[in-house]
Amino acid sequence: MTDSKLNLLDLDRKGMEAHVADLGYKPFQGRNLFKWIHKHGADSFDGMTDLAKKLRHQLEETAVIKPPEIVFEQPSLDGTTKWILELEDGQRIETVYIPEEGRGTLCVSSQVGCALDCSFCSTAQQGFNRNLSTAEIIGQVWIAAAELDEDQPLTNVVMMGMGEPLANFDAVVAAMDIMQDDLAYKLSKYRVTLSTSGIVPALKKLGEVSNASLAVSLHAPDNSLRDELVPINRKYPLEMLIPACKAFIEGDRRRKITWEYVMLHDVNDSDRHAKALIRLLEGVPSKINLIPFNPFPGSHYRSSSPERVEAFRMRLKRAGLIATTRKTRGDDIDAACGQLVGKVKDKSKRQLRNMRQGAGR
């Protein structure tokens, strides 16, 4: 709600139809409205000529189309663009556009901060404040579509920005539905990817309501190391996570799970780890994405050398796995993986705790 007006970016297609029906109009007017907003990027009602005049008037009185506000648009030397967006309560999130040969990927945030505390991620250090609304999530796509030039296609969305998308289930699912809607951004199920640290019950539920693609932040091939790097593993260990992931893609032979694996020097990057990873993923249709660690102030990890990353990758390849190394993009503007921090009014007191620990060192 904005000034007690309804923000129409909060509604998926069905919601829009229902809302328009509530106002006394046929569902197709809702579809038209939905199309104006997401296909044509409208943020006011006057140009919506195929909508009943009275409906337009009613909407003007009761509704808004209000994405987050752009505070800053920051281009990187490699073509990556980062937007810093301010929400109604003054908090800030980040969205990143990453152009590649023939495609363009938008990295979208799902929460203000993150509650999960992965030890190598700078978003974690910011602590957590709240979930984003559907409007604030799809608003990031709306903004990118409006700001990008014709030679900057928006072909993929990854829910890999700030936050744990499965901890904000309903809003994320609604936003991903809009991304895939033919009347909106029309992205296929293979081009909308949710990345999770592995909240197993939510993952099972996701399989029932969404057909988006799945990426999982694995980062370790065994429980003891993963407990340390991705603490949610203590609650949902690998013997729960791996079968849930397998079940997620069952029935679609084109599908694979993308496993994200951040390469940390002398932590998870040895031949022993590669072997354990090969064993762990046996029989799971997989793509492994090795991510060079992006350092940030206060982190005590170091990135594996490029040679180590390549040796690790080759080992996986020789075992028949598909393994790629994610190119670090946008690191000159702190837009790379794990560098997104926004401005979070921390409710978890983690910032304070970290500061105290830092002072005691």
Residues contributing to the site for ligand SAH (CB under 6 A): 118, 120-121, 160, 164, 195-197, 217, 260, 262, 291, 293-294, 337-338
**Could you tell me which of 202, 181, 200 has the C-alpha nearest to residue 192?**
181
Q: How far is CA 131 from the centre of its chain?
A: 13
Residues 6 or more apart from 171 whose CB is under 8 A from it? 110, 131, 132, 133, 134, 137
> Smallest gap, in angstroms, from Cβ of residue 215 to ligand SAH?
7
Closest CB to ligand SAH among residues 16, 132: 132
Closest CB to ligand SAH among residues 10, 260: 260
> Smallest gap, in angstroms, from Cβ of residue 140 to ligand SAH?
14
Closest CB to ligand SAH among residues 96, 274: 96
Catalytic residue among 94, 136, 164, 260: 94
> Smallest gap, in angstroms, from Cβ of residue 216 to ligand SAH?
7
Closest CB to ligand SAH among residues 37, 96: 96
Q: Exposed, middle or buried, 297 (CB in 10 Å: 0-12/13-18/19+)?
A: exposed
Closest CB to ligand SAH among residues 54, 265: 265
> Smallest gap, in angstroms, from Cβ of residue 336 to ligand SAH?
7
> Smallest gap, in angstroms, from Cβ of residue 54 to ligand SAH?
44
> Smallest gap, in angstroms, from Cβ of residue 356 to ligand SAH?
22
**Could you tell me which of 292, 286, 296, 279 has the C-alpha nearest to residue 354?**
296
Closest CB to ligand SAH among residues 32, 80: 80
Catalytic residue among 107, 114, 121, 337: 337
Closest CB to ligand SAH among residues 81, 217: 217
121 assigned to active site: no
> Smallest gap, in angstroms, from Cβ of residue 197 to ligand SAH?
4
- Measured N-to-C along each axis, helices 169-180 and 13-22 cross at an angle, to the nearest 10 degrees, of 100
337 assigned to active site: yes
222 token code pair: 């065994």
Angle at 153 between CA 152 and CA 154, to 5 degrees: 120
Whether the CB-CB separation of 179 and 185 falls below 8 Å is answered with yes
In DSSP terms, 69 is beta-bridged to: 86
Q: Which residues are catalytic?
A: 94, 337
